[in-house]
Amino acid sequence: MLKLNRRVAALRPSATMAAEARATELKEAGADVISLAAGEPDFDTPERIKEAARRALAAGQTKYTAASGTTALKQAICYKLKRDNGLEYEAAEVMASAGGKQGAFNVIATLFDEGDEVIIPTPAWVSFAEMVRLSGAQPKLVRASQDHGFRLSAAQLRSAISARTRGIIINSPCNPTGAVYREEHLRELSRVLAESGIWVLCDDVYEHMTYGGSAPHLFRIEPRLRYHGIVLNSLSKTYAMTGWRVGIVAGPREVIQAVARLQGQNSGNPNSIAQAAAVEALKGPQDEVATMVAEFHKRRDYVVERVRALPGFSLPNLPEGAFYAFPEVSPLLSVKWKGAPIGDGDGLARILLDEAQVALVGGNDFGAPEHVRISYATSMANLQKAFDRIEGVARRILEG
């Protein structure tokens, strides 16, 4: 048998990428599949950003840059952090990565080690636990209850911290639940976090996608967290730039130096053309962001209404941010389908793909097997068609 590195051998495939890949495969084979799987804005990258890429290409900006990104991009990142988050960082305290995912991975690999524990409030994005395991540390999954709006409480946080705890990953707005930590929630958590001294990784990827008011940044609420705090962000969702692969990391200078060293030994710099486009994205007019968010808001309202009307689905909390709904589907899971119980959200997602040609992601790898994740980063026409089909199949399942 092929002998692989022990940690890579144990690695699970990314459930979000796998669901999207299955949908694409079926579409390419001619099936009329609607994908509500990957969290990927359906909008095109704004023209001014594409134009900046064309200019960079014409000017021959096709060479290596510093592994951590160009000076122009680091300055643009500092400008963004001040403008959007009220956080002052110097160029030596920030870097660019090839997508938010690489930034998160490199930070986790830099800070954590065997024997360490990293708290991940669940439901959480599928890749965090795997990244922590790859670093040699153990993810400590703490389930945030639906009754508490899927937000980790300060009491839960306090009791999860042990002598081995070295960090926590906080993602607000949250993928997959859409939960947003408001100022009062962040204030409560910040007290415990400041006392504990553990690394606080803030995943801000969905920061602009909020539909009922945003919240100040955790590091604004408690500036002492900056000493043991890391900002993780990406241009993918905000500027519809998923394919360009540009992520942002900000934190204490020594940490950034170490993360850049790691990046210098694995990928080197993020794509040079994409970096030039990213400068324009961050520094140019931000009107398109508001336009896209307004559209997501409309879709969120529509999706909530449709999900709440689906037999066997429940969605008690309004998803206040990101572009996902994460309904519970428990009543459907004990029902038998073709001789066997559906079992979990992944089982239901498989049936919906086969019977309704709608791709969703099951909740298992998000840490909530009794749920499914529905991405509404697709057109209203697709959403309407997809929900009509899901409704039909859910009725058939419940009617036996």
Between residues 104 and 198, which has the closer beta carbon with respect to ligand GLU? 104
Interface positions, 25-44, toward ligand GLU (CB under 6 A): 38-39
Between 105 and 181, name the residue whose CB sits nearer to ligand GLU.
105
* One-character DSSP codes across 255-278: HHHHHHHHHHHHT-S--HHHHHHH
Residue 323 interacts with ligand GLU (CB under 6 A)?
no
Closer residue to ligand GLU in complex, CB, 17/92: 17
323 neighbors 329 (Cβ within 8 angstroms): no
- Determine, following the binding rule CB under 6 A, whether residue 16 of this chain makes contact with ligand GLU: yes
Q: Alpha-carbon distance 80 to 354, whole Å? A: 44
Rounded CA separation 26/262 (Å): 38
DSSP three-state, residue 176: coil
Q: Are strands 199-203 and 165-171 parallel, antiparallel or unpaired?
A: parallel
304 in contact with ligand GLU (CB under 6 A): no
Amino acid at site 328: E
Q: Are 36 and 23 in contact (CB under 8 A)?
A: no
Cβ partners under 8 Å of residue 74, min gap 6: 68, 91, 94, 95, 96
Residue 91 engages ligand GLU in binding (rule: CB under 6 A): no
Of the candidate residues 127, 271, 364, 378, the single one contacting ligand GLU (CB under 6 A): 127
Residue number of the CB closest to ligand GLU reads 39
Among 45, 135, 175, 190, binds ligand GLU (CB under 6 A): 175
Instruction: Tell me the per-residue interface mask from 133 to 172 with ligand GLU, x by CB under 6 A, - otherwise.
Output: ----------------------------------------
Question: How far is C-alpha 215 from the geometric centre of its chain's CA atoms?
Answer: 18
Instruction: Find the shortest distance in angstroms from Cβ 23 to ligand GLU.
Output: 12
Q: How many residues bind ligand GLU (CB under 6 A)?
A: 9
| Residue 195: other Cβ atoms inside 10 A | 11
**Which of these segments, 13-21, 219-227, 251-259, 281-289, binds ligand GLU (CB under 6 A)?**
13-21
Taking the least distance from each CB to ligand GLU, the nearer of 14 and 110 is 14
Binding site for ligand GLU (CB under 6 A): 14, 16-17, 38-39, 101, 125, 127, 175
